[in-house]
A and B are shown apart, each in its own frame.
Chain A
Amino acid sequence: MSLMEIKNLHKSFGGLTAVLNFNFDIEKEELVGLIGPNGAGKTTVFNLITGVYKPDEGRIFFNGQDIAGLPPYTICKKGIARTFQNIRLFNDLTVLDNVKIALHKDVPYSLMGAICRTPRFFRGEKKIEDKALEYLKIFNLDNKKDEIASNLPYGEQRRLEIARALATSPSLLILDEPAAGMNPQETHDLMNLIASIRERFKLSILLIEHDMSLVMGVCERIYVLDYGQIIAEGLPEKIRNDKKVIEAYLGEEV
């Protein structure tokens, strides 16, 4: 059974169809890319999967359960985490607190325990902090734990966002243009990081990216979206030579 299977997903805004008859599946521990020209509806698909938008039609099976239309926090608890195209950190808070918030869904003490400061609260806080630091260490951010998130340089903000998403312990991680605005060296490092995360946490990763070299290099399978519809699907080699894909990008080097 695949980890996630999407059937006939459909979404329109007013009269504008954003996603049409979208079918998709991702296996456990698979790394899949979703590409397409600007305005093809990639981010809309992500928003539908993570519950930001409610689909008009269609089903999204995650671990065999239909999650279409559930609120975002429930979907997150079921094991889907994401990052954002334009970074959305908790800007005024420290790096550490950003990750701690993602750990809140498994908070090990009760509200009353927090107010009364029970021993369980102190133990729980210690546990949360250790765990948060663990995630920061993976992304080389542990030495910046007390910095305010918005003061981090751009690349580190991107990494912090991935760390925060991982902290919700997902089985599917969705990355929305993680390399946007990065230079080739940073992009290369990020690619390695993404690959190693998958190994380490045994995750499936779904990736939107404009940077073709990143997608082709790291993804095992690629979906191509244009005008809200899948126009091609398959191995990177196949996509590279697909006529429709080349047409969609209209001369853009694929």
Chain B
Amino acid sequence: MLEFMQQIVNGLSLGAIYALIALGYTMVYGIIKLINFAHGDIMMVGAFVGFFSVTMLGVNIFVALLAAMAFCALLGVAIEKVAYKPLRQSTRIAALITAIGVSLFLEYVMVYFFTPNQRVFPAETFSLHNYHIAGLVISNKDMFVFGSAIILMIILQYIIKRTRTGKAMRAVSIDQEAAVLMGISVDKTISITFAIGSALAAAAGVLIGIYYNTINPLMGIIPGLKAFVAAVLGGIGIIPGAMVGGFVMGMLETMVSGYGSSLYRDAVAFGVLILILLIKPSGLFGKNTGEKV
């Protein structure tokens, strides 16, 4: 039982990271119905910005986190303007291919400049402490990762539910044309969505760097895919769904690694994906909608 609880604790911080990435996927999908395959790579860029802020500028981890978020917010907006906006009226598949193109572009630009090698987060960034609470081992690292993710999610909830911007985002995702008629600037709202989603991904990138200790230019692919699964699991386009989905994925993964074979860890993620798609394609929180004839 204790071991099980420990696995849950371990899964919480990983789940929080997945949830952060999944939020960006879900927000972008909700607003322009695009699976932004470059999202995982924005996360990777965030990890690098965080890494260089710490190592080269010597700032503390909080400042690094904010720097990464700011940088990636701009990056996300730029990508949307350059690559996705011209394709808003064309087929979904053309946009999907473009997203894949952007993903490759980010990955290999980073490989070109920073080599494909692993980089290790300097140990002094985070002096590791383990706390023993009720027989469970909880590190300050876990607490930091989990805490930051939760704070960011609360801020996001506030923005979406309580501000005009959030209202505009929800309006555009429900009906773009009607939103225009209500005087909402669709372009601006989409930009803001990309900015927020990318900032969350950047935060996740820094946190994943801390969590695994290492970063590299291709690190975005697998967590990106898993976060995507998390978004689908919760019901793509639904924000609380992405959070729950992220936590479920994180826990499941630590459970499988803890109890089963870690080699099958990635297969489990996709197994979950397929199960959910076959049983309830709209996700845990989604509503089934049929086509009108």
- Residues of A at the B interface (CB closer than 8 Å) are 43, 47, 52, 84
Contacts and interface: CB of A to CB of B under 8 A. Distances in A.
B267 interface: no
Nearest to A44: B293
Interface in B243-293: 293
Interface of B: 293
A165 to B, nearest CB: 14
B58 to A, nearest CB: 60
Contacts of B293: 43, 47, 52, 84
A84 B291 CA distance: 14
4 contacts: A43-B293, A47-B293, A52-B293, A84-B293
A47 B291 CA distance: 12
Contacts of A84: 293
Closest 4 CB pairs of A and B: A52-B293, A47-B293, A84-B293, A43-B293
B293 to A, nearest CB: 5
A47 B293 CA distance: 8
Contacts of A43: 293
A52 B293 CA distance: 8
B292 to A, nearest CB: 9
B288 to A, nearest CB: 11
A231 to B, nearest CB: 24
A52 B291 CA distance: 10
A43 B292 CA distance: 10
Nearest to A82: B293
A182 B293 CA distance: 21
Nearest to A84: B293
Nearest to B291: A52
Contacts of A47: 293
A11 to B, nearest CB: 13
Nearest to A72: B293
B244 to A, nearest CB: 24
Nearest to A52: B293
A52 B292 CA distance: 10
A187 to B, nearest CB: 24
A119 B293 CA distance: 40
A169 B233 CA distance: 45
A69 B138 CA distance: 57
B84 to A, nearest CB: 25
A112 B185 CA distance: 56
A131 B293 CA distance: 28
A66 B293 CA distance: 23
A135 B293 CA distance: 25
A43 B293 CA distance: 8
